[in-house]
Amino acid sequence: MKRNILIGMSGFLFLAFLLISGAFSQGPSGPELRAKSQKAMNDGNFKDAYEGFKKLCLDPKDEPPQVGNDLNQAVQCLNNLGRVNEVDTLIEDTVKVHKDNWRLLNAAAQQYVNTQHQGFLIAGKYERGPHR
């Protein structure tokens, strides 16, 4: 009888531990990640800022009014990093996730208008930006 109680208690404690650790292991929420990424960008840490903004762009649960701004910030980070050739992929992937968000579609169109137009045709594929 005592053994069954001990097994039950240990199982309960194990499940409680899993639930608590799962709650704490989740990454920062959208507003927290946005603020952290903006701070990294302001500090000149464009790589970390880009990774944060990219996560927000590709998150289907991101706040619809904010996705366009997240995309703009991510593209700015790529420009600062000299990774202009990744802009098209980021825009296309973000549009696939948020295809019904008119604000994002407007921001994506503005990025295509404002981004660097020069590039190279390499192996039949257009690459935006300078060739390395």
d(CA 55, CA 69): 13
For 83, the domain range is 30-128
Residues 21-72: tens digit of each pLDDT: 444 445 677 889 999 999 999 999 999 999 999 999 999 999 999 999 999 9
Instruction: Please name which of 65, 73, 71 lies closest in space to residue 40, comparing C-alpha atoms.
Output: 73
Confidence at residue 23, expressed as pLDDT on a 0 to 100 scale: 46
Confidence at residue 25, expressed as pLDDT on a 0 to 100 scale: 47
Q: Residue 11 domain-assigned?
A: no
Q: Residue 14 domain-assigned?
A: no
Q: Residue 91 domain-assigned?
A: yes
Confidence at residue 4, expressed as pLDDT on a 0 to 100 scale: 64
Tokens representing 62 are 């991101």
Residue 28: strand, helix, or coil: coil
Residue range 96-104: mean pLDDT, rounded: 96
Confidence at residue 129, expressed as pLDDT on a 0 to 100 scale: 84
Q: Residue 97 domain-assigned?
A: yes
Q: Which residue has the higher pLDDT, 58 or 15?
A: 58
Residue range 74-91: mean pLDDT, rounded: 95
pTM of the model: 0.76
Tokens representing 26 are 């989740």
Q: Which residue has the higher pLDDT, 3 or 93?
A: 93
Q: Residue 19 domain-assigned?
A: no
Instruction: Please name which of 80, 71, 131 lies closest in space to residue 98, comparing C-alpha atoms.
Output: 71
Q: How many domains does the chain have?
A: 1
